[in-house]
Chains A and B, each alone.
Chain A
């Protein structure tokens, strides 16, 4: 088993040498901003998205130990005369600013990848990333132009979930723009997410699904009707594949955070990393904790064993909390370069290092 850690200054592979023992096996793209990493268990290929400050976003693919640059998702030509502005009135770039989601298609779709980007375009590849096509049906959806900046200045598509029962059923989430769903492989899209609440907009928009700042969306693999949302305003749970959500309140120490992962087999179990909302965005009282529910959100345990409990200012971004296929092994990385692993579903944690660059994405991979 490996942990892939994408950071502001490189991609690190941690290798499990024996139970509870991990070491850095490789450090790749050192000095480069690696915004996303993906291991495709179907093919054994690893993908890394690089964000060169000057030279733009690039994608690299590693097969059998050799990296090569491949096509990066590119937006179609902007129609002549089209004026589209961002929330500051500046022209919205029809250009990939960041790769913010990268996922494999279904098990019945070898070679298929999905890529979410800032400023909001969703792309699909059917050839292991050699070429990409923008999902025009979503990009040209009239309501897409209501998406706004949230986690970044521009709208960002950060979550892509493929229903394990039917690969044409895809659910995405946007910050901000709420949750969208297709049941025909992307031919048509519909907004979902009734029941979520946004308190950063006027009252008449509070419950508008398109106004929702979903920070991260997760789905239970064995019960895909169960979805979890870590939202700007709290935690929400769905039992109907994102059509409706129920808010979970009064979770200590905070309902604010960025990341959530769902247990693959237990629909009632999910993990979150709480922070102080929202202008501060640091752990409450300087204590780094993980919250776990095992009863669908009725109660939460605050897990602290092995995590720093004083003067910890680690923020865990939305892609930086990972869970393995068993639901027992978790890992998360922080903005201050910490990386922790638990091999008992979060009951206790081991710090593998606290000297990494800021961590943007953590994934488990086969060795």
Chain B
């Protein structure tokens, strides 16, 4: 199963420990992560479910291309990093 990790900076607002989650796309992986942590969703995604402007997600070191539908594929052993961009501070 993929593993997901969140930026340390989000932790002071809402705890997001690393976890293994189900899913084959970024959208599915995030949905799994937020299922037990619903408050974290609005810190990463906007009102329409798109990635927030100043957030960035890497799958195995590659920034995702689809920031709206989050359709980028996630492999079975992939590592998904949810970071903040340098912009937006």
Chain A residues with CB under 8 Å of chain B are 52-56, 58, 69, 72, 74-75, 77-78, 93-96
Contact = CB atoms under 8 A, between A and B. Distances in A.
Nearest to A93: B46
B22 to A, nearest CB: 24
B88 interface: yes
A317 B85 CA distance: 29
A54 B14 CA distance: 13
B63 to A, nearest CB: 15
Contacts of B39: 69
A54 B48 contact: no
Contact of B54 (A54, A58, A77, A78): A54
B37 to A, nearest CB: 13
Contacts of A74: 42, 47
Contacts of A78: 48
B42 A72 contact: yes
Chain B CB count within 10 A is highest, among A56, A58, A72, A77, for: A56
Interface in B53-89: 54-55, 84-85, 88-89
A72 B85 CA distance: 22
A78 B68 CA distance: 12
Contacts of B9: 54
19 contacts: A52-B13, A53-B88, A54-B55, A54-B84, A54-B85, A54-B88, A55-B55, A56-B42, A56-B43, A56-B46, A56-B52, A58-B42, A75-B47, A78-B48, A93-B47, A93-B48, A95-B46, A95-B48, A95-B50
A95 B41 CA distance: 14
Nearest to B49: A77
Return the 7 tightest CB-CB contacts between A and B, nearest first: A95-B47, A54-B84, A95-B46, A55-B43, A53-B88, A75-B47, A54-B54
A69 B39 CA distance: 9
